[in-house]
């Protein structure tokens, strides 16, 4: 049973859906290292631009994905998906993110 | 019957869902006057800001809603709903609108 838990943790940590530095402890998400986005990553679509900017502003505000999710009334997994360009975010949610990050919404769509 | 048609036309033209200057002829949408957005209208939400900017840039580009819809591969009624803040537009569609209007996407979310 314990081994299975360890294996599950390894799987979760390896998966691209979780920050590489996130711990596998049940309540350790908050302590995940705040890692700024890679400036050399190619930003092809508007989703990529939003992903980059949300992460950059979140890290600049010293917020974890959980904290941003809480402030924006969105789920942590939603924030994670936004930061990996997986979600076609709606205008209302862009507005929530901008409010929580304390930046004008337009700034989230500006190419860095 | 003819009177009823006239009455229907009046009703449709009065409704806020159709441009005030649009004709009631079946194929007359293209000839609707290009009317810039009212600068005194209150822009409360981000939807209002997008609505204002899409209309302003569309009119500046001398495009009808049909022409913008065609260029952005979106339906004319979708454009109409965007310009009336009725739709929670997604990021992918904001990108399509920006491309069709030849402006950076961020510009569509800037408060005028």
pLDDT in tens, B87-104: 999 999 999 999 999 999
CB contact under 8 A, B46 and A104: no
pLDDT at res. B69? 97
User: Nearest CA to CA, how far is B56 from chain A (Å)?
Assistant: 17
Check whether A33 has a pLDDT greater than 90.
no
Check whether A6 has a pLDDT greater than 70.
no
Chain B residues in contact with A91 by the CB 8 A cut-off are 46-47, 50, 88-90, 94
**B91: nearest CB among A50, A95, A107:** A50
Provide the token pair at A93.
């949610």
Check whether B2 has a pLDDT greater than 90.
no
Rounded Cα distance between B38 and B41, Å, is: 6
Provide the token pair at B19.
């441009």
Instruction: Give the number of other Cβ atoms within 10 Å of residue B94's Cβ.
Output: 25
Q: Which CATH number fits domain B33-109: 3.30.565.10, 3.50.50.60, 1.10.1040.10, 1.10.260.40?
A: 1.10.260.40
| Closest B-chain CA to A105 | B109
Provide the token pair at B44.
């409360």
| Closest A-chain CA to B112 | A106
Give tens-digit pLDDT for B12-62.
Answer: 433 333 343 334 444 444 445 689 998 888 999 999 999 999 999 999 999
Chain A residues in contact with B45 by the CB 8 A cut-off are 92, 95
Which residues in chain B are classed under CATH 1.10.260.40? Answer: 33-109
**Inter-residue contact B91 to A50 (CB < 8 Å):** yes
Mutation target among A106, A108, A110, A111 for the B interface, most CBs of B within 10 A: A106
Sign of CA dihedral A44, A55, B103, B90: positive
Confidence of residue B81 (pLDDT cuts 50, 70, 90): very high
Rounded Cα distance between B107 and B81, Å, is: 19
User: Nearest CA to CA, how far is B106 from chain A (Å)?
Assistant: 5
Distance from the first to the final alpha carbon of chain B: 46
| Closest B-chain CA to A92 | B88
pLDDT at res. B14? 39
Helix (H, G, I), strand (E, B) or coil at A93: helix
User: Nearest CA to CA, how far is B99 from chain A (Å)?
Assistant: 11
Chain A residues in contact with B92 by the CB 8 A cut-off are 45-47, 88
Check whether A3 has a pLDDT greater than 90.
no
Global pTM value: 0.72
């Amino acid at each position: 049973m314990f081994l299975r838990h360890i294996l599950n943790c390894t799987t979760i940590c390896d998966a691209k859906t979780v920050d590489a530095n996130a711990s596998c402890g049940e309540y350790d998400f908050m302590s995940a290292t705040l890692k700024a986005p890679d400036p050399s990553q190619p930003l092809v679509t508007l989703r990529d631009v939003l992903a980059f900017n949300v992460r950059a502003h979140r890290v600049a505000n010293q917020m974890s994905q959980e904290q941003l999710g809480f402030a924006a009334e969105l789920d942590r997994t939603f924030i994670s998906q936004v930061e990996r360009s997986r979600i076609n975010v709606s205008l209302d949610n862009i507005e929530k993110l901008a409010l929580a990050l304390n930046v004008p919404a337009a700034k989230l769509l500006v190419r860095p």
